[in-house]
């Protein structure tokens, strides 16, 4: 049974279909890439999954249970966490508190303070921010703020993690470090779905890729399959993306 499944997922903004009748399955433990030109509906799809916005029609199930119509906090507590395209951190709070919040509230049940603190500390350690615990979050670099968001998401003990353009705005070194982080998350057994424009990251980290265009799914498959798919190539202006280039 796929850990995340969507059927006929549709969302309109005004008269425009942002996401149009999309079916998708995500298998447990995989790293699924979600790509497409700007405005293809990728972030909207994430917003529909995490219940940031409601569906117009269709249904979404997580771990076999219907999550359409639930609130974001409920979905988080079930084990589905996400990051945001425009980083949403708590700027005036210290780094530690940013993650501590996730530890306190994101788990399935009530957690003791000491446990939450240690979960927050491990999450920060995992992403490499252990040295900055007292820094106000707004004083971090963009790359570190994105890591902070990941740490907060990880502190909620997710089984599935949605990463929205984690590598946007990062330089080459930072991108490599981010890719390593994704691999580390994958190694922990957490399923990852990532929206990305940085092609080399997608191609080398993802086991499977889904392509959206104008709100509809136009292709799906392994990196090699997708990069040689005619429709995908047309959509990306005829540029051939070679999986072996990494």
Partner 1 sequence: MGMEKTTSKKILTFGLVLLLLVVAAGAPLYAPVYTVILLTSILMYMIIAVSWALFSGPTGYISLASAAFFGAGIYTAAIVGKALPLPLMIGAGALVSACLALLVGALTLRLKGIYFVMFTFGLVELLLHFILWWEVTMSGTTGRVVPPAGNATVFYAMLIILAILVLTVFMIRRSRYGLALSSIGENEEAAAHAGVHVTALKIIVYAVSALFMGAAGAAMATRWTYIDPRIAFNPLVSFVPVLMAIFGGIRPLYGPIIGAAIFTYLEEFLITRFPYYYMLIFGIFMVVAILYMPDGLVGLTQRVWKKMSRRNHADT
Under the rule (CB under 8 A), what is the footprint of partner 1?
50, 52, 71-73, 76-77, 81-82, 84, 88-94, 96-98, 100-102, 104-107, 113, 116, 133-134, 152-153, 156
Nearest Cα residue to 22 out of 163, 245, 179, 212? 212
Strand partners, 163: 194
Residue 43 in tokens: 């972030």
CA 151/CA 30 separation, integer angstroms = 20
CA 20 to chain centre: 20
Nearest Cα residue to 162 out of 10, 32, 6, 12? 32
Question: Residue 50 or residue 229: which is nearer to partner 1 going by CB?
Answer: 50
Question: Residue 19 or residue 151: which is nearer to partner 1 going by CB?
Answer: 151
Question: Residue 120 or residue 201: which is nearer to partner 1 going by CB?
Answer: 120
**Smallest gap, in angstroms, from Cβ of residue 226 to partner 1?**
29
CB atoms within 10 A of CB 141: 10
**Smallest gap, in angstroms, from Cβ of residue 157 to partner 1?**
10
**Smallest gap, in angstroms, from Cβ of residue 241 to partner 1?**
32
Strands 191-195 and 208-213: unpaired
**Smallest gap, in angstroms, from Cβ of residue 94 to partner 1?**
6
Question: Residue 90 or residue 236: which is nearer to partner 1 going by CB?
Answer: 90
**Contact present, 153 and 105 (Cβ < 8 Å):** no
Question: Residue 24 or residue 96: which is nearer to partner 1 going by CB?
Answer: 96
Nearest Cα residue to 105 out of 53, 159, 54, 113? 113
**Smallest gap, in angstroms, from Cβ of residue 183 to partner 1?**
24
Q: What is the DSSP letter of 186?
A: H
Question: Residue 58 or residue 107: which is nearer to partner 1 going by CB?
Answer: 107
Q: What is the DSSP letter of 244?
A: G
**Smallest gap, in angstroms, from Cβ of residue 209 to partner 1?**
25
């Amino acid at each position: 049974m796929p850990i995340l499944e969507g059927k006929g997922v549709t969302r309109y903004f005004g008269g425009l279909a942002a996401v149009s009748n999309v079916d998708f399955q995500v298998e447990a433990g995989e790293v699924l890439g979600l790509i497409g030109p700007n405005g293809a509906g990728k972030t909207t799809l994430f917003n529909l999954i995490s219940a940031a916005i409601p569906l117009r029609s269709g249904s979404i199930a997580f771990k076999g249970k219907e999550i359409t119509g639930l609130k974001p906090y409920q979905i988080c507590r079930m084990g589905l966490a996400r990051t945001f395209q425009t980083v949403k951190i708590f700027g005036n709070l210290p780094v530690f508190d940013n993650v501590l919040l996730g530890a306190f509230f994101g788990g399935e049940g009530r957690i003791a303070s000491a446990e939450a603190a240690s979960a927050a500390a491990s999450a920060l350690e995992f992403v490499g921010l252990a040295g900055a615990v007292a820094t106000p979050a707004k004083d971090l670099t963009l790359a570190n703020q994105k890591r902070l968001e990941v740490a907060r998401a990880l502190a909620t003990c997710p089984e599935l993690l949605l990463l929205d353009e984690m590598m946007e705005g990062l330089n080459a070194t930072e991108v490599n470090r981010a890719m390593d982080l994704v691999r580390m998350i994958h190694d922990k057994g957490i399923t990852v779905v990532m929206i990305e424009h940085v092609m080399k990251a997608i191609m080398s980290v993802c086991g499977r890729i889904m392509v959206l265009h104008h709100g509809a799914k136009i292709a799906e498959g392994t990196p090699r399959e997708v990069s040689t798919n005619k429709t995908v190539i047309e959509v990306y202006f005829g540029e051939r993306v070679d999986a072996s280039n990494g």
